[in-house]
């Protein structure tokens, strides 16, 4: 799909307007699809001894209304469904505001006003550069849904050290000091879906360093779908090493760049809608070149075309999925992404 220059811009606007009119006629009230009840994308894949991502299913259901309750629940070793009611303030303390989540947890907000403020969540063991394959006690099987996370002094969510089978769905991310959702150090089988990212700079980091191939190569398999990048400036996502990285049916609005693939990462970019994005997709970024396959994307008022290079292992090798038409994305995604929709 060409970028919007001169006459091509005018023609594309006409085409898109017609497509959106058709969508409005066929999708009454612009209603989004019903929220999934089970993980999809890479989080659904059976691997590493884990049968998809089920979180705290089968464990007790508890409700946290205070900071002390919340921190105690997320640290417990057994499966647990932790419901968050109202606003929980995460202290900075000695951890720079990052608080560890143990395996087999579902953390889910109640209603439309559940919030974590002032700190963030770490999913993963402490950093150890000498560990280059998944340890037996790697953190795994985590679901985080229907929460607003804002005002962290570091990351809002940090996934690290070979953590796997993580589903981050229908959340609202804003105003973190560093990343919104950073995934790094050999983490694998993750889905980031139906979230809204806004008032944030460095949004999604996948692979933290050009020199970390020993942990990352052959891992960092992540699906990003139906997210609303609502003026989030950059790293939507910024990828090193991972393959396959599947970015589909996301809505990009007013971003400096969308997706950057580097250090031989392999990204499949399909069915997305880019509006007023300077660089929708890049493989010549920093470090070694990445790889990118792009299809069925729409670009409007963008300054550059998507950069293409090489071939990428197809996501359908791992899981089945259904695409919305890219022309539907500006209607469906803002109506369905974020909190209060599940």
Side by side, which strands form the sheet with 188-193?
60-64, 80-84, 105-109, 140-145, 164-169, 188-193, 222-225, 245-248, 266-270, 291-295
Measured CA to CA, the distance from residue 41 to residue 255 in angstroms comes to 25
Instruction: Answer yes or no: 282 catalytic.
Output: no
CB 57 within 8 A of CB 82: no
**End-to-end Cα spacing for the chain:** 33
Q: Which of 235, 238, 240, 291 is catalytic?
A: 235
* Cα–Cα distance, 305 to 299 (Å, whole number): 8
- CB contact at 8 A, 194 and 337: yes
- CA-based torsion, 227, 174, 187, 214: positive or negative: positive
Q: Which residues are catalytic?
A: 235
């Amino acid at each position: 799909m060409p970028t919007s220059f001169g006459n091509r811009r005018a023609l594309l606007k006409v085409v898109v307007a017609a497509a959106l009119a058709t969508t409005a006629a066929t999708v009454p009230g612009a209603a989004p699809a019903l929220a999934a009840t089970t993980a999809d994308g890479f989080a659904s894949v059976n691997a590493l001894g884990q049968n998809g991502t089920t979180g705290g299913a089968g464990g007790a259901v508890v409700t946290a209304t205070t900071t002390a309750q919340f921190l105690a629940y997320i640290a417990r070793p057994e499966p647990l469904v932790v419901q968050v009611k109202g606003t929980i303030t995460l202290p900075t303390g000695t951890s720079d505001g990052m608080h560890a989540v143990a395996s087999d947890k579902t953390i889910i907000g109640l209603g439309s006003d559940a919030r974590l403020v002032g700190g963030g969540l770490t999913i993963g063991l402490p950093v150890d550069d000498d560990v280059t394959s998944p340890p037996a006690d790697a953190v795994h099987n985590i679901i985080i849904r229907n929460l607003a996370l804002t005002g962290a002094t570091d990351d809002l969510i940090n996934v690290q050290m070979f953590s796997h089978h993580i589903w981050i769905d229908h959340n609202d991310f804003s105003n973190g000091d560093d990343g919104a959702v950073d995934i790094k150090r050999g983490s694998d089988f993750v889905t980031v879906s139906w979230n809204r990212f806004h008032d944030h700079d460095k949004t999604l980091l996948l692979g933290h360093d050009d020199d970390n191939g020993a942990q990352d190569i052959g891992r960092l398999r992540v699906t990003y779908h139906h997210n609303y990048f609502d003026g989030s400036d950059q790293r939507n996502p910024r990828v090193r090493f991972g393959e396959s990285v599947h970015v589909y049916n996301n809505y990009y609005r007013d971003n400096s760049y969308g997706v950057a693939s580097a250090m031989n990462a392999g990204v499949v970019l399909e069915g997305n809608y880019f509006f007023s994005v300077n660089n929708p997709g890049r493989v010549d970024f920093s470090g070694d070149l990445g790889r990118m396959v792009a299809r069925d994307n729409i670009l409007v008022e963008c300054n550059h075309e998507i950069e293409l290079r090489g071939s990428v292992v197809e996501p359908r090798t791992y899981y089945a999925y259904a695409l919305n038409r890219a022309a539907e994305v500006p209607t469906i995604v803002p109506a369905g992404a974020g909190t209060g929709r599940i």
